[in-house]
Amino acid sequence: MKKQDFEAIEKRQKTIRNFSIIAHIDHGKSTLADRILEKTKSITAREMKAQLLDSMDLERERGITIKLNAVEIKYDHHDGNTYIFHLIDTPGHVDFTYEVSRSLAECEGALLVVDAAQGIEAQTLANVYLAIDNDLEIIPVINKIDLPSANVDKVKKDIEDVIGLDASEAVLASAKDGIGIEEILDQVIEKIPAPTGDPREPLKALIFDSIYDPYRGVIPSIRVVEGTISKGETIKMFSSGKTYEVTEVGVTTPKQVPRDYLGPGDVGYLVASIKNVENVRVGDTIINADNPAKKPLPGYRTLTPMVFCGLFPIDSNKYNDLREALERLKLNDAALTFEPENSQALGFGYRTGFLGMLHMEIIQERLEREFNIDLIATAPSVIYHVHLENGEMKVIDNPADMPEPQYIDKIEEPYVDATIMCPKEYVGNIMELCQSKRGHFKNMTYLGDVRVELSYDLPLLEIVYDFFDKLKSSSKGYASLDYEFKGYKESRLVKMDILINNEIVDALSVIVHRDFAFHRGKAITEKLKDIIPRHMFEVPIQAALNNKIIARSTVRAMRKNVLSKCYGGDVSRKKKLLEKQKKGKKRMKSVGSVEVPQEAFLSVLAIDEE
């Protein structure tokens, strides 16, 4: 590259602003991102779909962001310059802290969006601290000021007291009504520094995401930190050592737009006919093969999965499809782990590890929707430390692998540090809930006059089970939960087997606390009774501890299932009915001679114990 080219790159670099938006679910982050895109005329009204940055159907339906997205925006400022913004969206849920830390590493600044009516939530706090850890410039934005219940002064005070940020220049905004958007953009330009990095240095670019395109291969999303990258160059993955020839570089606007080169501070994508998903590891550094940088950029800390479940294709022919799909998802979700699992009841599948329950749900839904694989998911489990009589310690993430009780000395289960924030009127309910979930009370702090922060030690197992749903229902949805792994603790745990038609179904086994076993057994057998369809014979359902039956229910025999009417003209419609019946069967798994529907395997969860 020539001298004047480098000068042009450096000039351009001064106009770049990289920032993300930190907000709690529902506090209006995606709407704000949409408004910014509109305001900067990045997209025409016709292109505007509600919540554009959230491009996955699933995200749009649930109104949350799962994967991070990055777009380039051009903004003509009234100082006469045109600025280049890279807006990097971040997820707002506890399960996706990993994604958040990734997106924050790409930025020099962040907008902290706080709902003017609801104030700061636990999750927002966690992400703000992450941003502060990353030395980001934070611009507070108080959103939804149009709401009648908005209390701007209180939220400002919260920001100053709880986070310790100066809120005097906080932008007052209503993303919904387009208020305050221009001021946000002005502050981004004034307060957030332009990215550093020298275009003359050897290339260092961080892979922070990637997508798979069936025609163009794996397309990594990158941020260039040092040097430049352009079409025709040969690049090298620092950790795998694989080299590729770059066939295209560009930016996302949110459409992919090719560009001649990407320089320091640029956030974009590259195409290099990368076939193998495994060679593009998120967090890896891309360097120039002909002029290689000596050291990689600091990668990401990898999060370890805390929740495990078995995923089995209903159609056993789709086992390989499932593996490929999991590999694809792992491409930009390093927290996802999987290894083959074989179940007597469900056949071949994968024991899959997740960061938490939402992460698990999202992955399952994506497998079904994007990859068209009908799945059976077993109830989620945590990792147990099982100490045997002989002194050996086994790490068990699958109840089916639990050793026989006579060999077990003790079982330890993971505990978390749980932080719950709620309005003070729900404190009683929530303390009661935590008590019933084997929680140990640690601390209670008043945050201002109305909000309370509770801290508890809680078994992760209980959180995985139904704690979150119960928390929401006992606080009318106002409480928020954040948790962090604490350590292992001995508990009186037992494995409970479920028998269908007198056969143990390994995929239904669960680990429960001894004191809850009877109650849970009864609830599970009752629930299964309603889920398993009636067969031509009676189907007993039993719960057993150590081969002793502790609860039982019965699916009564179905005595008749005949199509009544079938005249000539009716043949086609009766066929349709039979097709429907067959389709329903496809979503079932045969366990012995019993057809068990998909949802049965999750029935051990979400049991209403009232």
Residue 50 as a binder of other proteins (CB under 8 A): the answer is no
Least distance from other proteins to the Cβ atom of residue 558, Å: 5
* Secondary structure (H, E, C), 550-600: EEEEEECCCCCCCCCCCCCCHHHHHHHHHHHHHHHHHCEEEECCEEEEHHH
What Cα–Cα distance (Å) separates residue 184 from each residue in 41, 170, 172, 181, 573? 15, 9, 9, 5, 60
**What are the tokens at 560?**
């008749």
Site string for other proteins, 526-545 (x = CB under 8 A): --------x-x---------
Nearest Cα to Cα of residue 297 among 287, 311, 310, 308: 287
For residue 495, the cross-strand partners are: 511
Among 567, 583, 608, 610, binds other proteins (CB under 8 A): 567
Residue 568 as a binder of other proteins (CB under 8 A): the answer is yes
Least distance from other proteins to the Cβ atom of residue 571, Å: 6
Among 3, 294, 295, 559, binds other proteins (CB under 8 A): 559
Q: Could you tell me how many residues make up the chain?
A: 610
Any long-range contacts for 464-471 (C-beta under 8 Å, 24+ apart)? 464/307, 464/357, 464/380, 464/381, 464/382, 465/605, 466/605, 466/606, 466/607, 467/433, 467/437, 468/357, 469/606, 470/433, 470/437, 471/420, 471/430, 471/433
- Residues 210-269 interacting with other proteins (rule: CB under 8 A): none
Q: Which is nearer to other proteins, 546 or 554 (CB)?
A: 554
Site string for other proteins, 484-523 (x = CB under 8 A): ----------------------------------------
Q: Which is nearer to other proteins, 369 or 573 (CB)?
A: 573
Residue 563 as a binder of other proteins (CB under 8 A): the answer is yes
Stretch that binds other proteins, among 72-80, 439-447, 508-516, 568-576 (CB under 8 A): 568-576
> What is the C-alpha to C-alpha distance for residues 359 and 379, in angstroms, rounded to an integer?
14
Q: Which is nearer to other proteins, 519 or 585 (CB)?
A: 585
Among 556, 586, 606, 609, binds other proteins (CB under 8 A): 556
Q: Which is nearer to other proteins, 273 or 581 (CB)?
A: 581
Least distance from other proteins to the Cβ atom of residue 540, Å: 18
Amino acid at 154: K
Is 421 strand, coil or helix?
strand
Residue 558 as a binder of other proteins (CB under 8 A): the answer is yes
Stretch that binds other proteins, among 17-25, 287-295, 460-468, 567-575 (CB under 8 A): 567-575
Q: Which is nearer to other proteins, 215 or 567 (CB)?
A: 567
Q: Which is nearer to other proteins, 369 or 576 (CB)?
A: 576
557-575 b/e with 16+ CB inside 10 Å = b? Answer: eeeeeeeeeeeeeeeeeee
Contact residues toward other proteins (CB under 8 A) are: 534, 536, 556, 558-572, 574-575, 578, 581-582, 585
